[in-house]
Structure 1
């Protein structure tokens, strides 16, 4: 099985040693810097060579649209039922956390699936359905999420392209128990605002449609159900990306927790560090199997229902990879373990490319058509 990454970390016993040892690319951060391409393309090719039948798993999953319809209906029902409840009441907050946050996290990940063209065959149908799935979230984001997320796949760990990476500023100021607790509590805001700080997307037609549709929906909801109904949806979205069990996937996917990986730099020694981690627990049932994250990055064209089959077929490639057993424990360890934090991400200076551009909404580029081609994304 090929090596999946080669990285280094820098640690020093004194400030002088630190300054003397830092490589030419080092800007004072402590990220795990990699000097090879991202690991998933290599492993995908190896899996296809060893198990060519996995390519038959690619393609849209018809069940996705029905689950989205059910969750959208659930959230609208809850919003209407709570329209007369106080926002600070126990029933309002408990419903928003237990039902609303779980439902909206489910919709976040439905949009993630749809962004890979895995709900319908036609790209336009996927773009429009993502806007529909966005409605109970309360804030337009599905159109912008897609190019940022596909760039994350094409440019995993690439500094300045992969907006899933924390910035050096975030890692420096939040490098404490309090800072990490703050990050976990408000991480939905970091994921919403950080991409715009890294690079901005052009205002495409689908992005504009997403904004208009969401504002129109919000206005209608307030008009006929009242402002508290909309407040329920917004609170659900915030809690979905806060201290919620399902929100553990944000941290579990790419932060390095493995003690063997977090070792100091030895002069001239390059240390292999995994940069994607799977989770094989029960919360996958609520989150479109996003926990099978190595499997997803290896084959983004395989939908959520077939990722377990991929894992079983290629078990010889996945059995020895480090993985998580609990998203709740991931959050707890991230906050309290002094050796884990926002610095614990693999970064690389080169490779990858942006996905999306001025003409993305015309649906004519390979970026849009390639989502169901094995190995393209």
Structure 2
């Protein structure tokens, strides 16, 4: 049987010296702060810290803290507040918090390593919030939080993880947010799940690499406002949320580049598979976009890919409509530029629509299969502006749209 420290508030254990402290199976109960470390080295093996519903589990202002072998922190407002020093937490340890965050890593922290750790909130707050340093998470499960991981600065690596978030107390939530001060974020084999709305990943800067990331139960899959993003072997399933529409990937005008390889995007009724407003996007490999008709998008129908700016290259991508001939496969407007090679578009009432001053080149045995659906007609390619070049492309009508409009030219568009 280990040692038990029981208070009526106050602090359980304070480490101020330069020495070393080892606690095995120590229980710290009914305190405002379980463990406070200002310097030195503290190792906690097993045991628990249980607060009074508010306060902190651990506060670090320096030194090194290692928690292992099923350390449990519960009954606290904030789990671990690491302002400086080095933090290690591992071995099936858990944090259950009621307030703002599970783990906070301040700008003065050299590194924080979380391995096989469970962090659970009460439907709000942050699982992990990072303001600097280097954070490595392996096998971390974050659940019942408003915001999963927010990285404001520094470098973060997360693999074999799971993030389950709610709408929080702000009406929306997100799985991962990468701020403009971040150097890099690497997510590998991570599952992000919302409750039907909110964002899977929000990126405001830096470089983000995602490999094997699965996002579901969100209204906005990945929003890239700035920086560079690379995603491969991924899956995004999005809903219409409470705003009436959603999207799989949105690339803003401040983005340097976005590369999607072997990524599957599936809409659940409304919105866009991919929205492109600027920057450069490359989509290749066994990538697939599945969209439904819905009631939002181009002409109140769903859109597979919507381009209003920037440059998009798609190679071997499949864009498939699932609502019996409604919706548009590719909608290019504004100043956007698109190059498609070996692309397969089917299931929409319109295969491709080009307007504005945009440019579209389609080649390399690409195929458009369209159907009229409930509107009684369909269009393979509709051009009302911009410039379209098609080489080696097949356009096939089916259903009510068969033989109606393979290519329809209106306005001042140009087609070769």
Query: 1 or 2, which has the higher helix percentage?
Result: 1
Instruction: Quickly name the TM-score band, shorter chain normalised.
Output: under 0.3
Return the TM-score normalized by structure 2.
Answer: 0.17
- Select the structure with the greater relative contact order (CA < 8 A; seq sep ≥ 6): 1
Return the TM-score normalized by structure 1.
Answer: 0.19
**If you compute each CA radius of gyration, which structure gives the higher value, 1 or 2?**
2
